[in-house]
């Protein structure tokens, strides 16, 4: 751990409050409370500006998969900086890490997804997917094939296009989105299906809805369907069995490309390098990923495409014309070196196997919280879990949003040395994958205590 004692944390807090425009922030409270400073870290723990230690139940933001403060990562990053810290890969230049990482991702990705385009994160990976898909259909002479279908409560990022594809309605309040190109269908959330409906009937209905939407928009106008294998920010929604496979079949029936947004699910979170094929039995046309690709040590996102797409987009569209898509930092050598080392660590330490084992224990332990009176459902898989809190377990009625139950639980956890993420009336968990049994037990016990304390607060305040 590094020495943070010489930093004036009060000053840092003030500088942050005065000058740093935070992403995804509630300014009504930020201007009063400012931010919690995270100053140090160590494997599964983070340490605040006052030196308090917390188990990080959310891996930063679904991303610090190999755990914090790995010296090997620091060394790999430093080594690359001293070799060559940057070079553009526009045109015919490349760097050793960019080339090597591409080959490694082609090897790890399912099916014939053998070609990789890089940006700086998940939103950009999805934006890139849209640009490439449009270009692909233009190349094929199918110039009307432009529309994108995605799901309510899907989250795909916050660049203009990625936020348009995002279907979390709350996220659109006050901003604009592209409504001509993007069309949303409903969320395959089994917990909220009509009472008495079987899972099979629910799944049939969702698949029919996708097919109906393609037909309504016209197959000649629909380019792609975007879906997370398990929706993350929408509340960790695991669709019914067979949903993805059947969605992919419907897409392919109408020449619609299937993009699997694996920004959260890739690199071990569910116990596989990629979840599309290994967990959900699909080989999509594209996979977008980021986060766990470098475990958050440096920014990097990737759009991985099939041979079929690459073969079309890599043919010159006109004499002298270029494939005009790319960013200054596409294939950044230091980020790519970090990704290579990150994957090497995951493989050497058999982190996917650890997730299969410890993640299954974690899933079962978190699930045990369902006996608490305000916990309506605990759902998710392995190290990607969500607790949905309700006022009434039978009717699934929500607690008054003014009660901010997710925040209250997160605050109680924080006071007890655990960070969990509030998401409206829910709390999500996506810890580093290196969690030990002792860490899991602490996390679940602390959550239980915090939910019980919150329940008492809600009663006291008249919300229950």
Closest distance between ligand PLP and the C-beta of residue 16, in Å?
20
Secondary structure tally for the chain: helices H, strands E: 17, 15
CA-CA distance, 233 to 153, in Å (whole number)? Answer: 8
Closest distance between ligand PLP and the C-beta of residue 292, in Å?
11
* Longest CA span, the chain: 73
Angle at 224 between CA 212 and CA 335, to 5 degrees: 150
Q: What single-letter DSSP state applies at residue 127?
A: H
CA-CA distance, 123 to 172, in Å (whole number)? Answer: 15
Closest distance between ligand PLP and the C-beta of residue 13, in Å?
25
Q: Which residue is nearest to ligand PLP (CB)?
A: 122
User: By the 8 A CB rule, do 243 and 276 touch?
Assistant: no
Closest distance between ligand PLP and the C-beta of residue 233, in Å?
5
Closest distance between ligand PLP and the C-beta of residue 378, in Å?
20
- Residues in contact with ligand PLP by CB under 6 A are 121-123, 126, 155-157, 228, 232-233, 261, 263-264, 290, 301
Closest distance between ligand PLP and the C-beta of residue 49, in Å?
24
Residue entry with tokens 């949303």: 184
CA-CA distance, 447 to 378, in Å (whole number)? Answer: 12
For ligand PLP, the closer CB: 264 or 355: 264
For ligand PLP, the closer CB: 423 or 464: 423
For ligand PLP, the closer CB: 155 or 258: 155
Collapse the DSSP code of 151 into the 3-class scheme (helix H, G, I; strand E, B; otherwise coil) and give the result.
Answer: strand
Closest distance between ligand PLP and the C-beta of residue 236, in Å?
11
For ligand PLP, the closer CB: 130 or 290: 290
For ligand PLP, the closer CB: 126 or 335: 126
**236 burial via Cβ count (<10 Å: 0-12, 13-18, 19+):** buried
Q: What single-letter DSSP state applies at residue 270?
A: T
Other CB atoms within 10 A of residue 226 CB: 27
For ligand PLP, the closer CB: 49 or 60: 60
For ligand PLP, the closer CB: 276 or 450: 276
Collapse the DSSP code of 223 into the 3-class scheme (helix H, G, I; strand E, B; otherwise coil) and give the result.
Answer: strand
List the structure tokens of 223: 């380019």
What are the start-end ranges of the E strands in 20-62?
A: 38-42, 45-48, 53-56
Q: HSE on the CB side for 33, CA within 13 Å?
A: 9
Q: What single-letter DSSP state applies at residue 286?
A: E
Sign of the alpha-carbon dihedral angle for 122, 123, 124, 129: positive
Closest distance between ligand PLP and the C-beta of residue 63, in Å?
8
For ligand PLP, the closer CB: 228 or 285: 228
Closest distance between ligand PLP and the C-beta of residue 124, in Å?
6
User: By the 8 A CB rule, do 451 and 463 touch?
Assistant: no
Closest distance between ligand PLP and the C-beta of residue 228, in Å?
5
For ligand PLP, the closer CB: 49 or 167: 167
First-to-last alpha carbon distance for the chain, in angstroms, is: 44
**253 burial via Cβ count (<10 Å: 0-12, 13-18, 19+):** exposed
For ligand PLP, the closer CB: 117 or 155: 155
List the structure tokens of 126: 């999805």
- Kindly report the backbone phi and psi dihedral angles of residue 42, in degrees, each rounded to the nearest multiple of 5, phi listed first: -165, 105
Helix spans in 223-368 (H):
243-253, 275-280, 307-313, 333-348, 351-354, 360-367
Closest distance between ligand PLP and the C-beta of residue 126, in Å?
6
For ligand PLP, the closer CB: 59 or 232: 232
């Amino acid at each position: 751990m590094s020495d943070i004692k010489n930093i004036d944390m009060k000053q840092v807090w003030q500088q942050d409050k005065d000058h740093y425009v935070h992403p995804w922030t509630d300014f009504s409270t930020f201007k009063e409370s400012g931010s919690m400073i995270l100053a140090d870290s160590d494997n599964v723990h983070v340490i605040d500006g006052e030196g308090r230690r917390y188990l990080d139940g959310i891996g930063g933001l679904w991303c610090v998969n190999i755990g914090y403060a790995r010296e090997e990562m620091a060394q790999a990053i430093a080594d690359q900086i001293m070799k060559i810290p940057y070079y553009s890969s526009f045109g015919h230049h490349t760097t050793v890490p960019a080339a090597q990482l591409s080959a490694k991702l082609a090897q790890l990705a399912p099916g014939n997804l053998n070609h990789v385009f890089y940006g700086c994160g998940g939103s950009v990976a999805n934006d890139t997917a849209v640009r490439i898909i449009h270009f692909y259909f233009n190349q094929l002479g199918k110039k009307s094939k432009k529309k994108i279908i995605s799901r309510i409560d899907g989250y795909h990022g916050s660049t203009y296009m990625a936020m348009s594809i995002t279907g979390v309605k709350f996220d659109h309040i006050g901003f604009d989105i592209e409504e001509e190109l993007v069309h949303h269908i409903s969320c395959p959330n089994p917990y909220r299906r009509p009472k008495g409906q079987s899972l099979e009937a629910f799944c049939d209905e969702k698949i029919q809805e996708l097919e109906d939407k393609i037909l309504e928009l016209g197959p000649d106008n629909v380019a792609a369907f975007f879906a997370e294998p398990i929706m993350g920010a929408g509340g960790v929604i695991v669709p019914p069995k067979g949903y993805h496979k059947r969605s992919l079949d419907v897409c392919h029936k109408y020449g619609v490309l299937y993009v699997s947004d694996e920004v959260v699910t890739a690199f071990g979170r569910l116990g596989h390098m990629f979840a599309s094929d290994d967990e959900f039995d699909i080989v999509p046309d594209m996979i977008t990923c980021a986060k766990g690709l470098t475990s958050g040590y440096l920014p990097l996102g990737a759009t991985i495409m099939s041979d079929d797409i690459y073969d079309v987009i890599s043919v010159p569209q006109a004499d002298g014309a270029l494939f005009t898509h790319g960013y200054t930092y596409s294939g950044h050598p230091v980020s790519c070196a970090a990704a290579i080392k990150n994957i090497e660590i995951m493989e050497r330490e058999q982190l996917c196997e650890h997730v299969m084992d410890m993640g299954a224990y974690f899933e079962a332990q978190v699930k045990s919280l369902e006996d608490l009176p305000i916990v309506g459902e605990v759902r998710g898989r392995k190290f990607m879990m969500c607790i949905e809190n309700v006022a009434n377990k039978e009717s699934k009625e929500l607690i008054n949003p003014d009660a901010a139950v997710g925040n209250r639980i997160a605050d109680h956890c924080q006071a007890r040395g655990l960070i969990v993420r509030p998401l409206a009336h829910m709390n999500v968990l996506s810890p580093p994958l290196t969690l030990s049994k002792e860490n899991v037990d602490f996390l679940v016990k602390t959550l239980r205590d915090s939910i019980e304390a919150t329940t008492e607060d809600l009663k006291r305040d008249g919300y229950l």
